[in-house]
């Protein structure tokens, strides 16, 4: 590891972190001192640029990102919703509006039924280019060195060509920016965004992208040790916190991919979208840290599991560790794809009893095909946790003790997996802690009423639920209050208050 000089700009405040470099990772962040307290704030940063996502943008408002906008900006005629049209200081007006208007760059309407508007792909790169002119020092010190994998991107000739035409040539031609920005620079910016930008959501929940030059250089791990939260109501400020205690010099990592995917899926996402092969401990271990998150049941012997021989090698064959059975990667892919299709069909069902019962049926069926902790089974459990207590016929008051036990068991099983892949202050953990506390409270109360539990046992179980809620709030307390997680934090705080009052109200006679 090499320490890297260069102070970040005033848009960044950092605590116990510094930039390092290695041939494998390029630049990355490390803890400059030991961090004992999980949840400690490590970095706060304002984005260099915020804008629409590339490659799948609908016709959206260029200021608030509301989708399917038919109204146009009164100045330049590009998409802008009526409310944003009234606001002369919106992002679009401050940034590209004048330039598009002066160039007479026409916005072309999508053909009827069209969903993807390639013309909007130029907006986020253009905003980064404008930020380069406005903050040349920040560009030079923080953005220009960002990895953009030009060589690998060029190998994907179709995408490279589409980006050149839709973004570089469009900005230099119809937008009349050829004298300000070279094609090479524009393609560099497109690559920087692809490799480094974070996805965020507006306060209304619409997706967008943000570029953070300092936080963006965090290395990836499939078992991350930091958590980031982006605050739409605070100019999209990002805050990075330690999920677990850290040692001085330890690499700071977050996950570029979905931690509840199996190794084959994570590896392919990282190779195709971020241009590297992950070699973290979890990827290198065929059993994914003893969880068997990708293991299939061996079809030949009774207690064996099929695991990849070389989990990080594309096309690796699979073998049973208990007998001599083997399978090709293609055979495994076909099995997993077929099961995933069944799960997708269940997911697309309307929220209701049928969806819940079908998910339970698949989970039973997969017992003979998958390891119980397989990611497809874990995904089904997560689906069921969200449905028990919410869908018609299975609302919380309708759940029998047996079904309450079922919900609690599903939560514990998912939490067990999360302990391995997202240790410490993980958002997914917080969500599942909240879900778990509800059946525990109801079971404790019904057990006490039916005299199966003594007063002391009732109190102990309620205190257990209080502890779950406390941890849930501890994890979610830093989230933006308008986000889904921030809203859950408020709900958990209320539940915590009520439950604490109930336990206090139980009185000493229950001791
Ligand atoms: C978001 S950038 C991180 C900053 C980058 N290292 C730089 O110098 O600009 C992502 C890139 O960093 C490298 N990287 C991040 N995590 C890695 C890992 N676990 N293994 C190998 N390379 C990694 C890859 O080149 C990846 O495309």
169: nearest Cα among 147, 148, 192, 187: 187
User: Which residues does a 6 A CB cutoff place in the pocket of ligand 1?
Assistant: 24-28, 146-147, 149, 195-196, 216-217, 219-221, 274-276, 278
> Residue 58 has what pLDDT?
84
Q: What is the pLDDT of residues 415-425, one digit of tens each?
A: 999 999 999 99
Q: How far is the CA of 180 from the centre of ligand 1 (A)?
A: 29
Question: Residues 409, 411, 416, 417: is their CA dihedral positive or negative?
Answer: positive
Alpha-carbon distance of 201 to 64, in angstroms, equals: 10
Q: What is the pLDDT of residues 47-89, one digit of tens each?
A: 999 999 987 778 999 999 999 899 999 999 999 999 999 999 9
Segment 164-173 mean pLDDT: 97
Ligand 1 pocket test, pick from 141, 209, 211, 220 with the greatest ligand atom count within 8 Å of Cβ, gives 220
Yes or no: say if 31 and 17 are a contact pair by the CB < 8 Å rule.
yes
The answer to whether residue 3 scores a pLDDT higher than 50 is: no
Q: What is the pLDDT of residues 375-427, one digit of tens each?
A: 999 999 999 999 999 999 999 999 999 999 999 999 999 999 999 999 999 99
- What percent of the chain is predicted at pLDDT more than 90? 91
The full 3-state SS of 9-46, as one line of letters, equals: CCCEEECCEEEEEECCCEEEEEECCCECCCCCEEEEEC
Query: Locate tokens 């209080």: which residue?
Result: 466
Q: What is the pLDDT of residues 120-152, one digit of tens each?
A: 999 999 999 999 999 999 999 999 999 999 999
**How high does pLDDT run on average in the chain?**
95
Q: Which atom of ligand 1 has the smallest separation from the CA of 275?
A: 27
Segment 426-447 mean pLDDT: 97
Coil, strand or helix at 500: helix
Alpha-carbon distance of 394 to 357, in angstroms, equals: 10
Question: Cβ-count burial of 174 within 10 angstroms (0-12 exposed, 13-18 middle, 19+ buried)?
Answer: middle
The answer to whether residue 1 scores a pLDDT higher than 80 is: no
ipTM value for the complex: 0.99
**Band (2; pLDDT cuts 50, 70, 90):** very low
Yes or no: say if 496 and 504 are a contact pair by the CB < 8 Å rule.
no
Alpha-carbon distance of 57 to 445, in angstroms, equals: 50
The answer to whether residue 181 scores a pLDDT higher than 90 is: yes
Q: Which residues pair with 395 in a beta bridge?
A: 389
The answer to whether residue 194 scores a pLDDT higher than 80 is: yes
**Structure pTM?**
0.93
The answer to whether residue 163 scores a pLDDT higher than 60 is: yes
- What percent of the chain is predicted at pLDDT more than 70? 97
Yes or no: say if 330 and 339 are a contact pair by the CB < 8 Å rule.
no
**Band (31; pLDDT cuts 50, 70, 90):** very high
94: nearest Cα among 104, 108, 111, 80: 80
Alpha carbon nearest to ligand 1 atom 27, residue: 274
Q: Which atom of ligand 1 has the smallest separation from the CA of 196?
A: 1
Structure tokens at 200: 């965020």
Q: What is the pLDDT of residues 226-271, one digit of tens each?
A: 999 999 999 999 999 999 999 999 999 999 999 999 999 999 999 9
Query: Locate tokens 């050149």: which residue?
Result: 164
> Residue 10 has what pLDDT?
75
In order of their start, the domains of the chain are 2-47+212-254 (2.170.270.10), 55-211 (no CATH), 258-399 (1.25.40), 424-511 (1.20.58)
Alpha-carbon distance of 214 to 151, in angstroms, equals: 23
Distance of CA 145 to the CA centre of its chain: 25
The C-alpha angle with vertex 110 and arms to 106 and 116, in degrees rounded to 5, equals: 110
Cβ-proximal residues to 362 (8 Å cutoff; 6+ apart), any chain:
339, 342, 343, 346, 380
Q: Element (H or E) spanning 72, and its range?
A: none
Q: How far is the CA of 131 from the centre of ligand 1 (A)?
A: 23
Segment 461-480 mean pLDDT: 97
Yes or no: say if 243 and 225 are a contact pair by the CB < 8 Å rule.
yes
């Amino acid at each position: 590891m090499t320490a890297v000089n260069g102070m970040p700009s005033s848009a960044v405040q950092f605590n116990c972190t510094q930039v390092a470099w290695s041939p494998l990772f390029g630049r990355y962040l490390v803890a400059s001192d030991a961090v004992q307290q999980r949840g400690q704030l490590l970095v706060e940063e304002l984005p260099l640029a915020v804008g629409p996502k590339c490659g799948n943008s609908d016709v959206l408002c260029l200021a608030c990102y509301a989708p399917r906008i038919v109204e146009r900006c009164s100045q330049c005629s590009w998409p802008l919703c009526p409310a944003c049209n009234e606001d002369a200081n919106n992002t679009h007006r401050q940034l590209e509006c004048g330039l598009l208007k002066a160039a007479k760059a026409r916005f072309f309407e999508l053909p009827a039924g069209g969903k993807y508007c390639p013309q909007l792909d130029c907006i986020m790169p253009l905003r980064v280019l404008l930020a380069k002119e406005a903050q040349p020092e920040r560009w030079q010190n923080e953005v220009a060195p960002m990895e953009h994998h030009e060589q690998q991107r060029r190998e994907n000739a179709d995408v490279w060509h589409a980006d050149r035409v839709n973004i570089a040539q469009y900005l230099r031609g119809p937008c009349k920016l050829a004298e300000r920005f070279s094609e090479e620079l524009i393609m560099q910016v497109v690559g920087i965004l692809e490799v480094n930008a974070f996805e965020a959501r507006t306060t209304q929940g619409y997706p967008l992208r943000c570029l953070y030059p300092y936080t963006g250089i965090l290395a990836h791990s499939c078992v991350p040790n930091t958590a980031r939260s982006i605050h739409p109501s605070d100019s999209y400020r990002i805050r990075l916190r330690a999920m677990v205690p850290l040692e001085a010099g330890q690499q700071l990592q977050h996950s570029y991919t979905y931690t509840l995917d199996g190794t084959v899926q994570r590896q392919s996402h990282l190779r195709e979208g971020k241009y590297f092969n992950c070699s973290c401990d979890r990827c290198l271990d065929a059993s994914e840290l003893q969880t068997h998150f990708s293991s299939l049941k061996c079809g030949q012997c009774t207690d064996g599991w099929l695991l990849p021989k070389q989990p990080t090698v594309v096309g690796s064959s699979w073998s049973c560790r208990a007998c001599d059975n083997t399978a090709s990667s293609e055979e495994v892919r076909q099995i997993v794809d077929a099961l995933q299709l069944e799960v997708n069909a269940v997911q697309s069902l309307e929220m209701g009893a049928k969806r819940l019962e079908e998910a339970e049926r698949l989970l039973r069926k997969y017992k003979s095909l998958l390891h119980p902790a397989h990611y497809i089974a874990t995904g089904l459990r997560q689906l069921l946790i969200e449905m028990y207590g919410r869908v018609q016929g299975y609302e919380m008051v309708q759940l029998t003790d047996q079904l309450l036990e079922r919900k609690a068991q599903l939560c514990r099983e998912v939490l067990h997996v999360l302990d391995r892949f997202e240790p410490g202050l993980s958002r997914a953990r917080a969500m599942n802690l909240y879900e778990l506390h509800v059946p525990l409270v109801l079971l404790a109360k019904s057990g006490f009423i039916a005299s199966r539990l003594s007063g002391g046992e009732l109190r102990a179980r309620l205190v257990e639920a209080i502890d779950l809620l406390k941890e849930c709030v501890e994890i979610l307390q830093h989230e933006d209050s308008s986000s889904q997680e921030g809203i859950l934090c408020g709900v958990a705080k209320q539940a915590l208050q009520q439950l604490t009052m109930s336990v206090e109200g139980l009185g000493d006679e229950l001791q």
